[in-house]
A = this chain, B = another copy of it.
Amino acid sequence: MSAAFPPHRGPVMSDVAARAGVSHQTVSRVLNGHPHVSATTRTRVLAAIAELGYRRNLSARVLATGRSNVIGVVAQNTTLYGPSSMVQAIGEAALGADLSLTVGHVAGYDATAASRRIVERLVQQGAAGLVFIAPVDAAAEAMRLVPEGIPIVTVDGLPEWQVANVSVDQYTGGLLATRHLLEAGHRTVWHVAGPEQWHGSRAREDGWRAALAEVGAVAPPMARAGWSAASGYQCGRMLARIPDCTAIFAANDHVALGIMRAITEQGRRVPDDVSIIGFDDVPEAGYFHPALTTIRQEFGDVGRQALRLLLDQLATGVKSAESALVEPLLIPRDTVAAPERKPS
């Protein structure tokens, strides 16, 4: 990166001041909405700004104030539906609050090194606050690099981190899903869990176990998938061969899709032979074949709440560990039915 663009320097505050016949400080006051500026002066300054096409230099402002209106987001794999929806929601909310977002994209799940660099970056840039989309433990370590004095909000973080957090109540989600299957008449429910490192996976699993315990059902062995249809398919190939397995709670919708495929290939039918329920309610879940019963997570809500929590901290100036829970919702569709009563 040897040669370079001419460092772009537009008009500065003193240019505007000269044009409007005032001092640079008055321009600053107008820009920041300070009181004690006469209406006529204000309009003159505003006119000068418009004529010159002046834009205030954010770096200088940050340097002078030690504070920016940029908030950083540390995201895991934003290719996944959940994380990307969340980033989108936070982004929209931020725009509304006149904040801008710097998003650091961590590649892979365990990339602690990448997270560190990103945090480093964000802090150097003078981020006013940080949102960690932290569904995995790896995030916790990177969080420690954040200097005191920069407020943090986690999304899908752990309570023991003692940090403001907002999550979908995945435990309840697991409970809801499992109960729904049980209420349809299944003796027990099998679970294909998501990756172990993800907190959400564990919470859903707990919910599943709790629901089984409620009715005294015995928990069958648990399969472990990734978040992809491909990994769901792998698990499904085993599950499909187990005659007792008539009800499956899948880690998410895509895993459910993979499982359904494996089951169908094995000659069993959904939901007649095997009922299945997903998680997330991706927009296309209702168009799977058959339409997938699932648990909806309101990612948009999560994003907005996260931003609210951050703004609160920014406004009050104190770190909080307040946490918000977003309730999931059961979306009944066509993949859950009563088990066929076999002559047993």
Contacts and interface: CB of A to CB of B under 8 A. Distances in A.
A278 to B, nearest CB: 12
B4 A314 contact: yes
Interface residues of A, number: 80
A138 interface: no
Interface stretch (A22-30, A201-209, A253-261): A253-261
Contacts of A1: 311, 314-315
A295 to B, nearest CB: 18
How many identical subunits does the complex contain?
Answer: 2
B100 A5 contact: no
A5 B68 CA distance: 11
B107 A92 contact: yes
Nearest to A81: B79
A124 interface: yes
B58 A125 contact: yes
A118 interface: yes
Given A124-B56, A126-B59, A8 B150 contact: yes
Interface in A276-320: 283-284, 286-289, 291, 311, 313-317
A228 B105 contact: no
Given A8-B147, A79-B88, A287-B261, A100 B100 contact: no
Given A229-B287, A230-B283, A91 B70 contact: no
A344 interface: no
Interface in A59-116: 59-60, 62-63, 65-68, 70, 77-79, 84-85, 87-88, 91-92, 95, 100-105, 107, 114
Report, nearest first, the 10 A-B pairs whose CB atoms are least far apart: A7-B66, A91-B105, A229-B284, A229-B287, A59-B62, A8-B149, A84-B84, A59-B59, A3-B317, A289-B289
Given A88-B107, A92-B107, A229-B287, 9 more contacts: A1-B315, A3-B317, A58-B125, A79-B88, A100-B122, A101-B104, A229-B283, A261-B287, A288-B288
